[in-house]
Structure 1
């Protein structure tokens, strides 16, 4: 059993009246805690426990459900901007005045907005499977991707098809990661995300992707060091958006992980955790 698999779920009541479900593990060494922002339809249990354990070596790591997601109360919000202010409310509830952020997919959009709205709150930023707001051809996902992961009932086959490559290696890695994620924690699992969450989050994703070249200029306002990471065969957020994002940010490094899809950070969890540790400690 991993540390994250055994971690207790806590509740934090924020000033906005929302009770946020979260998990808190690792060691408080005085460095800013690393706060994770989850992907489309994901809850606390959709993080790979092996990755979280790797990230928590020598550092405090916090995962949480935004409003209306999983066991957090309220209704899921419909824009990335609202989700960012929502995440700030959670951080305020924990009395955190300085954090590092790791945003994955939709969570990476939220991380960008937090850094723009509250720059004094954010130290370093990791953007995994990310894209800038207004980028061309980002207005919604391709029909095969939304069919795989956007149905009323999520399917394991669709998850594997998007998060991992269809090669023998990719399928094997996907099965191992899925075992850790979906079978590792057998008691006190988080509440499944609802259809309302799916609809609201996809509204946020499509609005983020409305073509608007002027929105790209906003990235100049993120002056913190950023680590941009992605999979070379990600069908959901194509690798070219990682390159675009890294090129627009004033202080960014980039790494594209080979033979991997949207879930590259789960497939390459040891390498990715080491890369994040190196970046945060730089």
Structure 2
């Protein structure tokens, strides 16, 4: 059976025990042979429409993939928490509402912080963990983003050029890939788009980011508790979450592997969508 592309999926809703109606999209095979579902956690200010359809379609070719808006984000009801811990509790409520006993989790940027917290709080819930453009809580240098980064993606209205400056490297190859990504994200779906995130969500999410980045070396040691396999990845030119944090994460987590993708930045997983999806598939299907 041919699968519907992510760009053509309906927006669905599920009510959780916490009273939140979560907006989500569900793709990929759902039969018993599809294995553990992969749940995606989105980046700062992102909603369902900010995932690259090419990446989701590649990931969903052999497994069930679910993208959702966390509480207060996009089409979901409720209020966005001001802490990563609160966001993790809300994400767990969504997973429970979907009747999943165990999931694989792919967290991107802020979503990767939430993914770490879920894995620490509910380790039995997470079979395998993918951390894209990530950093551990308490690491030096993560207390807020550089002025040029927050100026580009933190204003009420951002331009395609500002998006490209953070999510893609400065080479013509990377910028060309960025423009193609924007065309897929904004050009493939013209109707039934997700609700845009509002300013209150932006403020709450940035509070969570800054709190996560308060230097605290004791918090770094907690990652040694994680016993599931973890794949850590980033672009080599990410100005938002520097790639050396990927190596730090991989050194703190017992069963972690790391890959840095060349000539790419924060949006490496969109630029290298085919390669990244293949790497994620191999990791999730591995021993």
Normalised by the length of structure 2, the TM-score is 0.97
State the partner residue of 2:208: 204
Please state how far the C-alpha of 1:100 moved relative to its aligned partner: 0.1
State the partner residue of 1:217: 221
Q: What's the C-alpha RMSD, in Å, of the aligned pairs?
A: 1.0
State the partner residue of 2:172: 168
Please state how far the C-alpha of 1:155 moved relative to its aligned partner: 2.0
Q: Is the 8 A contact 1:2 1:49 kept in 2?
A: no
The 3 A distance-change label for structure 1 pair 270 and 30 is closer
State the partner residue of 2:148: 144
Q: Which segments of 5 or more consecutive residues in structure 1 lack a partner in the other structure?
A: none
Q: Which segments of 5 or more consecutive residues in structure 2 lack a partner in the other structure?
A: none
Please state how far the C-alpha of 1:154 moved relative to its aligned partner: 2.3
Number of matched pairs: 282
Structure 1 distance, partners of 2:173, 2:119, is 36
State the partner residue of 1:106: 110
State the partner residue of 2:8: 6
State the partner residue of 1:276: 280
Superposed CA offset, 1:29-51 (max 9, x none): 34110000000000000000000
Please state how far the C-alpha of 1:170 moved relative to its aligned partner: 1.3
Q: Is the 8 A contact 2:28 2:63 kept in 1?
A: yes
Q: Is the 8 A contact 2:34 2:62 kept in 1?
A: no
Structure 1 distance, partners of 2:191, 2:271, is 24
Q: Is the 8 A contact 1:170 1:260 kept in 2?
A: yes
The 3 A distance-change label for structure 1 pair 180 and 2 is farther
Report runs of 4+ in structure 1 exceeding 4 Å deviation: none
Match of 1:235 among 224, 234, 239: 239
State the partner residue of 2:47: 43
